[in-house]
Structure 1
């Protein structure tokens, strides 16, 4: 039994019980009076009491009070007469009936319904329907119980709407379900004088197996997103590391390049100095090397020495040069010039041009970047003389 039917039955039972209570109380009072002899039981007295009871019952039946939020349909001998507006009304006694209608917005709970979605997934859902009686006459004449009828229609419409949608839509598009159910209810309920003001689906739950599958799917999706984010982080880290290594390699290569340039410049300057020293020394360098050899030979234990003739001649010329004598009749010891073939082989001409800064050889010595000071040149000169000796 619906809530409206229960309330209406309660109202009718309350009115009937009140009338029965009045009659029973009157009969009880008459019985007590007759029992104690206060009233003599004669036909005239009984007729008067009966008329009194009938008059009271008639007045009680003729007076109707309609609440402010209600309208009541009046029938006389089962024929519809009118709608009673809120207030006090007098109706024909004993032959009239009234049927109240609540004109406020009413709430209908749609019981939980089971349905199969379009993709064959079982779901359960329940809803709440808000209705309001707009025409009490039509609600009285066109339908037996408008509340029960609306509730049953909402149940069948809810199952139909869920059956036309896929599972994902039923879970995510709640507003769409509400609009469709309301649209389906508006046509029939308008004929009953009832307006559907709103429909709200409270819960849509898939079956337990589907719920577990959805939870597993959600967990897998979260793991996938976590892996993607982790891979993106590693990728960015690798890119940053590679960029750092690249910059470090570039700086290291530039440093090695600059060191090589400075080393090449030093070698070039040393080569020029050696060449110039060798050219100016001539035979003297050879004699000094010979003297070093004699010193080494003299440190040995042997007492017999064999000297090459060329070395003897050179020593004689060197002694003549030192003493200013005429030993050997030779000329003084002078620096010798390299012949043309030797100069070409050693590249003396190119070195001279390089040292003078007038040659076509494209060697950027960059003396300022090398930062060669006079002390360095002197040390290189000393090393050059040692190598020549």
Structure 2
């Protein structure tokens, strides 16, 4: 009987001894509690945990990629959109991540969702679409400050999609079309203004010498004749007509 109990006790002691040896990978740390109180952080490599007295909680130090679910956001200009994002973070203080918060992954996820809605709600739709880099930095900064007490470092935040209703998509398309029309009109008006300035300069130069205008008409007539047109409409300058009339009046008087 005693041998039987001795065998059982020896097996139990052997199991306890084996369970005391733990191996942690390079990216793992063990948070050790002695009789319920925090003792120290051990790892990586081979460590010993005293059975029945000490408990160990494994913590992964690798970067965690967390997908933030799609959130309903109302922008500052009262446009309803659905936005989702991805957060990159990792644990830098294993003891804080275990002691200060019950579930650091769930806590970071909930905080990321509320921060996403809060930050994007302070901006207009155009800013959400055109200034994503700035918004990413703002969200990352707020998350990093809030999770610092949990021993977590938020490395990056990326807004993935900004989904709009079909009615809003059509409205944005109309706005873009109106903007292109406005730019086209402005460019056309600027071209007309520049052309008028050049014509004014040319007229000023030609007015300095009346023969220059006649030469210009002759050059124009040469260009028209070179196109092999059967009909040529050639405007006759008033100056030439007036000179002819004056010449005829002088001949008649003489």
* Contact 2:49 2:56 (8 Å CA) reproduced: no
User: d(CA) in 2 for partners of 1:149 and 1:177?
Assistant: 21
Query: How much has 1:147 moved relative to structure 2?
Result: 1.6
Name the structure 2 match of 1:110: 68
* Contact 2:64 2:89 (8 Å CA) reproduced: yes
Query: How much has 1:196 moved relative to structure 2?
Result: 1.8
Q: Pick the aligned partner of 1:171 from 129, 139, 153.
A: 129
Bigger helix fraction: 1
Once the two structures are superposed, residues 255-284 of structure 1 have per-residue CA deviations (whole angstroms, 9 ceiling, x without a partner) of 44565576567668xx5xxxxxxxxxxxxx
User: d(CA) in 2 for partners of 1:120 and 1:226?
Assistant: 30
User: d(CA) in 1 for partners of 2:245 and 2:126?
Assistant: 71
Name the structure 2 match of 1:196: 154
**Structure 1 residues not aligned, in runs of 5+:** 1-42, 272-389
Query: How much has 1:166 moved relative to structure 2?
Result: 2.1
**SS of structure 2 residue aligned to 1:132:** strand
User: d(CA) in 1 for partners of 2:241 and 2:199?
Assistant: 22
RMSD value, Cα:
3.4
User: d(CA) in 2 for partners of 1:232 and 1:181?
Assistant: 43
User: d(CA) in 2 for partners of 1:104 and 1:157?
Assistant: 23
For the pair 1:143 / 2:128, whether they are aligned, the reply is no
For the pair 1:186 / 2:171, whether they are aligned, the reply is no
**SS of structure 1 residue aligned to 2:102:** coil
Name the structure 2 match of 1:67: 25
Query: How much has 1:236 moved relative to structure 2?
Result: 7.7
Q: Pick the aligned partner of 2:237 from 252, 277, 295.
A: 252
Name the structure 2 match of 1:222: 180
TM-score by length of 1: 0.50
TM-score by length of 2: 0.73
**SS of structure 1 residue aligned to 2:39:** strand
User: d(CA) in 2 for partners of 1:98 and 1:152?
Assistant: 27
**Structure 2 residues not aligned, in runs of 5+:** 208-212, 218-233
Query: How much has 1:157 moved relative to structure 2?
Result: 0.9
Name the structure 2 match of 1:127: 85
Q: Using CA pairs below 8 Å that are at least 6 residues apart, which structure has the higher relative contact order?
A: 2
Q: Pick the aligned partner of 2:51 from 86, 90, 93.
A: 93
Count of matched residue pairs: 226
Query: How much has 1:152 moved relative to structure 2?
Result: 0.7
Correspondence 1:324-363 to 2 at 5 A: none
- Change beyond 3 A, Cα 1:172–1:65: same
Once the two structures are superposed, residues 138-195 of structure 1 have per-residue CA deviations (whole angstroms, 9 ceiling, x without a partner) of 1121111112111111110111112222222222222332232223223321111112
User: d(CA) in 2 for partners of 1:67 and 1:255?
Assistant: 102
